[in-house]
Structure 1
């Protein structure tokens, strides 16, 4: 990320944090009043996430800002969006999946659709390593920290009272980094996760037409937010109309997917194909 954009993100975050302190609110209380995830408040205040205008307006209303101060904060956001963006994240870590992970931790119901890369919460350590290594400016140290954090966050899959629904296209299972051995371990993890009572895993098989041509992945956190993933960034929206639209889209993919015994059979079939591929690649 370019230094200009980074500095403007920090300026926005510092100003919002100061306004929250002046209002005598904790981050958790502000998040609750604004109806956004607490991780979103933390990431914005620390200059690690650019909020949408809708999220910013929710925060300013929750803070009870007067019109002049609210305009000042909107101008800070406009300055961030106008700044030049060049290079990778400041600390060398990949930003892809971070907003998803943080929002997931604060949600009781998570529904994620992916058409290319496995959902962050289902990635094995080695798969995640390849995801983070592909980011511009990644270093071995930053990648190691990011992988460790991602694996730690996955503990939420095992917590009672949570429900996670993942829907993938079959292309996700066949878009592989590294080696066939890596994908065999990854698919084995999917089989293990699929057996959890807190998780539903579905796959839209290639033999079925997709109900909508997928352009990107997205994750719904409860019924309050959607994290929309693009090639270079993630955008968190709490706009009720947009969330409802993504809920409807997720439902269409969910109805096209296979679950239970059918998805286990598909995973085992793909695993055998990776074994065969590994044999052909062995000298």
Structure 2
């Protein structure tokens, strides 16, 4: 994908990569001509790379980092470069193929992942959702989609949710208490959803923690995110799904998840918070 045809989000990601390269050059106290000479290419190429007018190849990134004495940055920058085109996947484009196709697009990633980490500050995590809860969420984004498309999407999502009962996958869930209180759908749908949490909390490969309103916080609620093993993070925004693969950035999310875990309650205390949320619906 050329810069001219890239989506605004993908272009923003490419510009961020170009800025990181430029900062490495400045930190090494090299001007453009000096770096070009060390890399063995024309100064015009350096300018185009820094202005995000062309995308760097992996060989370009390695040469740039070696010239700047920043070999330790190669892995991160290559990971960022590889994910520029896929880092921002626009919901409009994904949904254009139908809600069912959107749900099916996750299948391979879910089957390949061994350890899932879910932190949510807005909705119940997808693999823990009931069909009524899913319907309440999807009805907002369905737009002009047919009822059949939505029902097929719900069925596909529920089939994927069955992953918590099969294979060797392990799941770590962290929910802000507010997630238990946000009412999506009617009271019956919400009560059913919360009751489902009380069922899955006892599954052997599932850990479900709730961060209480009253918990002393060392970190404020952040955006909801999912970590697949230790290689990929996905953050859902209003307009896009952001995929993070750079090792240093994935590590930041893992550290954030660990810090949030320290604020959560589990077992009987988590069950009590869920039960109180159910009682509040009455």
Please report the TM-score for the alignment, with normalisation by the length of structure 1. 0.64
Kindly report which structure 2 residues correspond to 1:100-249, keeping only aligned pairs within 5 A, or say none.
Answer: 102-135=108-141, 136-249=143-256
Distance 1:146-1:210 versus aligned 2 partners, 3 A rule: farther
2:209–2:265: 8 Å Cα contact kept in structure 1? yes
2:201–2:207: 8 Å Cα contact kept in structure 1? yes
Distance in 1 (CA, whole Å) between partners of 2:104 and 2:216 is 31
Q: CA deviation at 1:116?
A: 0.7
Distance in 2 (CA, whole Å) between partners of 1:143 and 1:5 is 30
SS in 2 for 1:128: helix
Distance in 2 (CA, whole Å) between partners of 1:96 and 1:167 is 24
Q: CA deviation at 1:105?
A: 2.6
SS in 1 for 2:175: strand
Unaligned 5+ residue runs, structure 1? 10-52, 58-73, 277-283
Over aligned residue pairs, what C-alpha RMSD do you find?
3.5
Please report the TM-score for the alignment, with normalisation by the length of structure 2. 0.64
Q: CA deviation at 1:132?
A: 1.4
Aligned to 2:265: 258
Q: Deviations over 1:159-200 (max 9, x none)?
A: 242210100001111111121111110011101110100100
Larger Rg: 2
Q: Deviations over 1:114-171 (max 9, x none)?
A: 0011111110001111111111444312211111011000111012422101000011
Unaligned 5+ residue runs, structure 2? 11-54, 59-80
2:94–2:102: 8 Å Cα contact kept in structure 1? no
1:160–1:198: 8 Å Cα contact kept in structure 2? no
2:103–2:153: 8 Å Cα contact kept in structure 1? no
SS in 1 for 2:262: helix
Distance 1:190-1:103 versus aligned 2 partners, 3 A rule: same
Aligned residues: 208
